[in-house]
Structure 1
Amino acid sequence: MKDFSCYSPVELVMEKHAQRRVGEYIKKYGGHKVLIHHDDAIHITGIYEEVLQSVRAAGLDFIEAGGVVPNPKLSLVNDIIEICRNEQIDFILAVGGGSVIDSSKAIAMGCVNNQKVEDIIFHEKPVKGALPIGTIVTLAGTASEISGCCVITRDSDLKKRDFSDSCLYPKFSLLNPLLTKTLSPYQTACGIADTLSHYLEQYFTVDQCSDMTDCLLEAGMKNIMRYGRKTIQEPDNYNNRSEVMWSATMAQHPIMETGRQADWSSHFISYDLTVFYHLPHGAALAVVLPAWMKYVLPQAEARFARLGKAIFPISDNTPSRQAAEMCIENLEAFFHDIGLKTKLSELNIENDKFHEMAVRSVDQPAFVTAKPGVLGEFVPLNAEDVEKIYHLAYDSSK
């Protein structure tokens, strides 16, 4: 087991109508003048007036800024940073899913650093802190509400970049499963796939002497698959949605990566599918993950066999190679069960950008990969490998 330090400072509150108490939580963590950052879903969920009423009742001044889209844009972040500085904002409330929360984190950094946000995220310049952040989660899946990470897209070249720092952990996150009932079945399924991928990416590791963490991840995977299916079948069931939301949040709790180096290759391979073809992140992962597993199977047979026997109905007596192949088949079947495709060809995506996307996917900062031009540590991949994975994801029969 690798040495580790596990740190999670986020206060998590799950309750019906939690958004009605957001004002008191902002005051608890020192907020006086608040930016309420959101997307259009704040009006669809019907919580807009409830949030404003709670903030006003707490005696807080506020401004609001919307406009967030999937793959949150650097240009919007920069525009809102200037507004926040002029208005002397001291707290940021994110109301939405992962894109809103990630955008809020980038804004929070930009408000207190002399460096441009682009230089911090894309050029790894030092960061000295961020404004405090709170979140109201309206979509279960990304788990940005519990992490110190954000993902921002640069408008000029559509490059997505991860950035992590302890200053980006929210002070609190309010989880109300009722808010996810306004999502379509497809949006719900994408969040479920994103959640499952977080558990899987941390399970795929070369550090295989951390059984406690393996068991936590296996339990999380079984739970999200069980209640993910139930939520698609019974969308009005509150308990099912509660389990999905809690599984989604816990998937990125730092305890899930203790004692190991996670892989995350499939996430980076999926990024350009979201920016070039506007696929939701979860939909892209439902295609990429099985293709990646098929490609690395020769090197990962034992790990996939253990996974399959732990979370799918595969007998312990099943030979290793067969169990590994059955694991991939069962994973694809799960994605189909919740209404997602597992081939790019089924999504009417052409294969003309695969080389460009492969080159871009391995261009990651030093904290992501130890070797320039190589993605992942579980099974290291170069651009040629990634291009083959895209083709496998396009049509796995070839």
Structure 2
Amino acid sequence: MENFVFQNRTKIIFGRDSDSEVGAEVKAYADKVLLHYGSSRIKDSGLFSRVSESLKAAGVSFVELGGVEPNPRLSLVKEGITMCRENGIEFILAVGGGSVIDSAKAIAIGVPYEGDVWDFYDGKAAPQKALDVATILTIPAAGSEASPASVITNTDGDLKRGAASELLRPVFSILNPELTFSLPPYQTACGAADILVHVFERYFTNTTNVELTDRLCEAVMKTVIENVTVCLSDPLNYNARAEVMWAGTVAHNDLVGTGRAQDWGSHQIEHEISGIYDVAHGAGLAAVVPAWMKTVYKTNIARFVQFASRVWNVEINFQDQEKTALEGIKRTEQFFSSIGLPVTLGEMDIDDKRLEEMADKCTDGGKGCAGNFVKIDKNGVLEILKTAL
């Protein structure tokens, strides 16, 4: 196990009707906030009305900014920065899924910064100050409700990039599983894929003596696999929705990655896909991850055998461990397909025309590598994309 520092300031308020507490929670930080959200769905569902009434009852006024899209856009972030500056806002409440939360975080670091907020995502600057952010989560997936990360898409160049800082971790997040009852099956499935891959990125490591976090990772994975199928067949099942929602937070609040080297190659590759084609992140991951696994598994077959055995209950073939490892990869791919996700790029109408461009962007023009479990150069990324095709 490697040395580590673990900290997470995010207060989690979990359970039925927990969104009704938002006004009192926000009041401890600010009297005026930016209420940031995505589509009109939160108004149609009545959530916007409940949130606004709770804020008003607590004496908190707000300015609203909706319109966040999946793969949140830099252009709306800049609009939010201007809005906060013009209205003297020092606190942001994000109501939505990972895209809304990531957009809110970008606004939060952009307001006190004199330069272009894209500098943080382009690696030219590191955040030194930020507005406080809080969230009401409506889509369990990205884990942004308790993470220090934000991912934004710049349509100028079709670039999807991330920034990370402890300043970006929300001060509190409200998780009410009831808010996920109306999620379409495809969004539920994409969210499950995102959660699982957040764990994969930590689980597939070359660090030894990490039994505790191995077991934590496996528990999260098995919980999601079991409960997302229930969510899809019985959307109003509170217990299954609650399990998936909490798993999404634990998968990305840094706990299961403590003491171990992490990978993140699949995320790097997928960001190039959704940055260009605007596909759902979870769907892109469902296509990339099996291809990544097929490419790298021989580097550490023992870890893939463990994954197959402990997560997918594959009986270990001691005479042919490779067969066991490949069966685990096969079951991963079959699971994604069984919950309605694409497992090839072709299923998302992506052809081979821009694979070279994606591999080039992913590796900074061939100067860098993707991932850490195996450091994948430009040719390796291209191979994975072709396998995923």
Shorter-chain TM-score: what band? over 0.9
2:148–2:167 Cα contact (<8 Å) kept: yes
Verify: 1:168 aligned to 2:163, yes or no: no
Map Cα deviations across residues 73-101 of structure 1 (whole Å, 9 max, x no partner). Answer: 11111121111011000210000000100
Q: Quote the residue 2:305 is aligned against.
A: 305
Q: 1:385 aligns with which of 380, 384, 387?
A: 380
Verify: 1:35 aligned to 2:34, yes or no: yes
Map Cα deviations across residues 172-206 of structure 1 (whole Å, 9 max, x no partner). Answer: 00001111112111110000011111111110112
Matches of 2:44 and 2:317, distance apart in 1? 50
Residue 275 of structure 1 deviates from its aligned partner by 2.5
- Return 341-350 or 19-28, whichever deviates more: 341-350
Matches of 1:34 and 1:204, distance apart in 2? 40
Q: 1:375 aligns with which of 329, 350, 370?
A: 370
Matches of 1:123 and 1:219, distance apart in 2? 34
Matches of 1:374 and 1:347, distance apart in 2? 26
AA aligned to 1:280 is A
Verify: 1:334 aligned to 2:335, yes or no: yes
Going from structure 1 to structure 2, the CA distance change for 1:307 and 1:342 (only over 3 Å counts) comes to same
Q: Helix, strand or coil for the counterpart of 1:12?
A: strand
Matches of 2:341 and 2:207, distance apart in 1? 31
Matches of 1:348 and 1:88, distance apart in 2? 45
Matches of 1:332 and 1:358, distance apart in 2? 22
Map Cα deviations across residues 341-380 of structure 1 (whole Å, 9 max, x no partner). Answer: 211223322111100011111239xxxxxx9411111111
Verify: 1:323 aligned to 2:318, yes or no: no
Matches of 2:296 and 2:356, distance apart in 1? 19
**Aligned residues, how many?**
387
Residue 229 of structure 1 deviates from its aligned partner by 1.4
Q: What TM-score do you get using the length of structure 1 for normalisation? A: 0.94
The unaligned stretches of length 5 or more in structure 2 are: none
1:102–1:144 Cα contact (<8 Å) kept: yes
2:182–2:235 Cα contact (<8 Å) kept: no
Map Cα deviations across residues 311-340 of structure 1 (whole Å, 9 max, x no partner). Answer: 112124543211100100110111122111
AA aligned to 1:261 is A
Q: Quote the residue 2:88 is aligned against.
A: 88
1:137–1:175 Cα contact (<8 Å) kept: yes
2:317–2:323 Cα contact (<8 Å) kept: no
Residue 273 of structure 1 deviates from its aligned partner by 1.9
Q: Helix, strand or coil for the counterpart of 2:122?
A: helix
AA aligned to 2:138 is T
2:160–2:274 Cα contact (<8 Å) kept: no
AA aligned to 1:177 is P
Map Cα deviations across residues 246-275 of structure 1 (whole Å, 9 max, x no partner). Answer: 111110121111111210100111112212
Q: Helix, strand or coil for the counterpart of 1:140?
A: coil
Going from structure 1 to structure 2, the CA distance change for 1:211 and 1:59 (only over 3 Å counts) comes to same
Matches of 2:345 and 2:119, distance apart in 1? 34
Going from structure 1 to structure 2, the CA distance change for 1:341 and 1:56 (only over 3 Å counts) comes to same
Which consecutive aligned stretches of 4+ in structure 1 deviate over 4 angstroms post-superposition?
none
AA aligned to 2:333 is E
After the TM superposition, which residues 1-398 of structure 1 pair with which residues of structure 2 at under 5 Å, given as runs? Answer: 1-28=1-28, 30-40=29-39, 41-318=41-318, 319-363=320-364, 372-394=367-389
Map Cα deviations across residues 38-91 of structure 1 (whole Å, 9 max, x no partner). Answer: 011322432010010001000012100011111111111112111101100021
Q: What TM-score do you get using the length of structure 2 for normalisation? A: 0.97
C-alpha RMSD of matched pairs (Å): 1.4
Map Cα deviations across residues 364-397 of structure 1 (whole Å, 9 max, x no partner). Answer: 9xxxxxx941111111101111111111011xxx
Going from structure 1 to structure 2, the CA distance change for 1:247 and 1:114 (only over 3 Å counts) comes to same
Q: Helix, strand or coil for the counterpart of 2:181?
A: helix
Residue 153 of structure 1 deviates from its aligned partner by 1.2
Matches of 2:31 and 2:82, distance apart in 1? 18
Matches of 1:143 and 1:124, distance apart in 2? 25
AA aligned to 1:31 is A
Residue identity over aligned pairs, in percent, reads 40
AA aligned to 2:169 is Y
Residue 278 of structure 1 deviates from its aligned partner by 2.2
Matches of 2:297 and 2:59, distance apart in 1? 58
Map Cα deviations across residues 9-42 of structure 1 (whole Å, 9 max, x no partner). Answer: 10001111222111111012x1111000001132
Matches of 2:349 and 2:94, distance apart in 1? 34
